[in-house]
């Protein structure tokens, strides 16, 4: 079985996440894509919404796709937050699965990855979704620095650059503007009902 591992804070999950996950599933012929939320304190700021809310929004967003699944392994108390530690745990949880890691180009280029060789050694494939603002030469330098046997596992998905991001969603809510249709409708309703990210009725109607 081929399993995609899509990690991130998902703060909140949005339509571009779903597009990338479904595209990777089709292009890489994956049987399943795991959405693996993290508190990710090593690479970026602490998530604004707590894990319970983020998981609930993911479940609402992926409910209609039988190939998508939530996995909370990287939210447990003994999780280190490092991908190199996460992947062996997923391999034990899904014995025999061939793992493909899905990531945005910005997360690869802009973050300092710890034990990146270990990450690639644990995977069959490491696939990168293009992101606006990430120069092709910067991405090429990261890949070129890898040993040849690991470089072969890395590929870039042939997808358009989508500017939508969780940062944009949170910023628009903070500016009292609408984010409806940037996020799945169930996620939008969840944000509204629970007043996440500083949502107000005046902002979004």
- CA 69 to chain centroid, in Å, comes to 13
pTM beyond 0.75, yes or no? yes
Q: Does residue 169 lie within any of the structural domains?
A: no
Domain that holds residue 112: 2-161
Q: Does residue 137 lie within any of the structural domains?
A: yes
Q: What pLDDT does residue 21 have?
A: 98
Digit-coded pLDDT (tens) for 151-189? 999 999 999 999 889 999 999 999 999 999 999 999 999
Digit-coded pLDDT (tens) for 38-58? 987 666 678 999 999 999 999
Q: Does residue 59 lie within any of the structural domains?
A: yes
Q: Does residue 184 lie within any of the structural domains?
A: no
- Cβ atoms within 10 Å, residue 115: 12
Q: How many structural domains compose the chain?
A: 1
Q: Does residue 173 lie within any of the structural domains?
A: no
- Cβ atoms within 10 Å, residue 32: 17
Q: What pLDDT does residue 41 have?
A: 63
Q: What pLDDT does residue 184 have?
A: 98
Q: Does residue 95 lie within any of the structural domains?
A: yes
Q: Does residue 110 lie within any of the structural domains?
A: yes
| Residue closest to 39 by CA, chosen among 87, 3, 72 | 72
Residue 17: both structure tokens together: 């996440």
Give the 3-state secondary structure of residue 141: helix
CATH number at residue 56: 3.40.50.620
Q: Residues 28-43: what's their mean pLDDT?
A: 89
Share the mean pLDDT of the chain.
Answer: 93
How far is 144 from 142, CA to CA, in rounded Å?
Answer: 6
The share of the chain scoring above pLDDT 70, in percent, equals 96
CA atoms within 13 A on the CB side of 190: 20
Q: Does residue 187 lie within any of the structural domains?
A: no
């Amino acid at each position: 079985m081929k399993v995609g591992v899509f990690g991130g804070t998902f703060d909140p999950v949005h339509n571009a996440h779903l597009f990338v996950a479904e595209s990777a599933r089709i292009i890489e012929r994956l049987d399943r894509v795991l959405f693996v939320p993290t508190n990710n304190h090593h690479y970026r700021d602490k998530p604004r919404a707590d894990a319970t809310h983020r998981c609930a929004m993911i479940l609402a967003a992926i409910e209609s796709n039988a190939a998508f699944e939530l996995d909370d392994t990287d939210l447990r108390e003994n999780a280190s937050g490092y991908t190199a530690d996460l992947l062996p745990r997923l391999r034990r949880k899904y014995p025999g699965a061939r793992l493909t890691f899905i990531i945005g180009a910005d997360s690869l280029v802009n973050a300092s990855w710890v034990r990146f060789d270990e990450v690639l050694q644990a995977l069959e494939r490491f696939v990168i979704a293009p992101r606006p603002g990430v120069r092709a030469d910067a991405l090429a330098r990261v890949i070129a620095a890898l040993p040849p046997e690991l470089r072969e596992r890395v590929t870039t998905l042939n997808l358009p650059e989508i500017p939508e991001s969780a940062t944009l969603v949170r910023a628009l809510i903070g500016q009292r503007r609408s984010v409806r249709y940037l996020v799945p409708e169930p996620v939008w309703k969840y944000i509204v009902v629970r007043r996440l990210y500083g949502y107000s009725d005046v902002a979004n109607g």
